[in-house]
Amino acid sequence: METRTPTAHAATARSSASVDRPTVSFELFPPRNPAAAPKLWETVRALEQARPDFVSVTYGASGKTRETSRAMVRRLLRETTLNPIAHLTCVGTSKDEITQIVGEFLDEGVRSFLALRGDPPLDQPDWQPHPDGVDTAGGLVELLREIESQRCTASPSQAVRARVRPLSIAVAAFPRGNAATGGTRAQDVASLLAKQEAGADFAITQVFYEAEAYLGLVAEAREAGVVIPIIPGIIPTTDPARLSRVAELTGVPVPRDLLDLLGSADDELEQHRRGTRAGVDLINGVLDGGAPGVHLYTFNKHHAALDLLEGAQLTGASRGTDDTAHATTTPEG
């Protein structure tokens, strides 16, 4: 797979500070154990140098990382220049619990959420939704808007702050349908339209490996009346083991030719280079097709993500000579 060279016009637009440059964002997750925290914050500082538009912070199934997610978002707000988007799930949670959780995030200064339904527990075959809960991501979007409205009604000060920094709500989209629920693309487009009508501001897609998957989703969504921006979610394709694991979790298969390309590399360095070229091709494909930007799933590592941005000429700031040399010659650790 050879990296396509963007046109001179496209390259200039992507590397400039123009308001028309594509957005860049990253996904991070709270460290699973305290020993991983220092490495995570090294990654945060490295990603910060790319001047992303935002970073999203995951929120474990059924809110199992509630406290660590809050702590991470709080630190991002207080110690970095990054704009965090807090993931929020609703499956198995009452409206009162969600209201409390949202209030905690809002009190910390969070003004952006990624509203997700979440997956039911795999180890509970007889699991039932909470009787006073929210069953869909669209319902969660509506609840978020209600919570914000109530806070503004109760406090004129909050109403002013809300006008200065309006609440922003993102939702998920699935280029090939939501494999977790057995849904088709057509069903996801209908769900995306419902989320838009509930008050969603933009969408971020699940992983995919061909530009056509994303472009097809967007075309079908636009025909159905979806007008909110849809940001492609992209995974660095440098680690075949990770790709296989993501396929298990999401149900999105990895193309055989990509796995063969990586598997036939002579060493990790060549594997990293091949994976980066494939990822740059994918980014170029979606941007050339009109994508508003890219959202990179980092897995709390920065080298592969930053190499992708560099290859696609999306870096928001020049990286130091030493860092650039290291990132372009060292596979992900």
Measure the N-to-C terminal CA separation of the chain; round to a whole number of Å.
23
- Distance (Å, rounded) from C-alpha 76 to C-alpha 248? 30
DSSP 8-class letter at 286: H
**Closest residue by Cα to residue 61 from 116, 3, 109:** 116
DSSP 8-class letter at 207: P
Query: Would you call 27 a catalytic residue per the annotation?
Result: yes
CA atoms within 13 A on the CB side of 130: 18
Residues 3/281, Cβ–Cβ less than 8 Å: yes
Neighbours of 107 (CB within 10 A): 10
DSSP 8-class letter at 255: P
Which amino acid is located at 23 in the chain?
T
- Distance (Å, rounded) from C-alpha 60 to C-alpha 69? 8
Close Cβ partners of 145 (under 8 Å, ≥ 6 residues apart): 167, 169, 198, 199
- Distance (Å, rounded) from C-alpha 330 to C-alpha 333? 8
Catalytic residue among 2, 27, 67, 97: 27
Q: What three-state secondary structure class fits 234?
A: strand
- Distance (Å, rounded) from C-alpha 18 to C-alpha 316? 11
- Active-site positions read 27
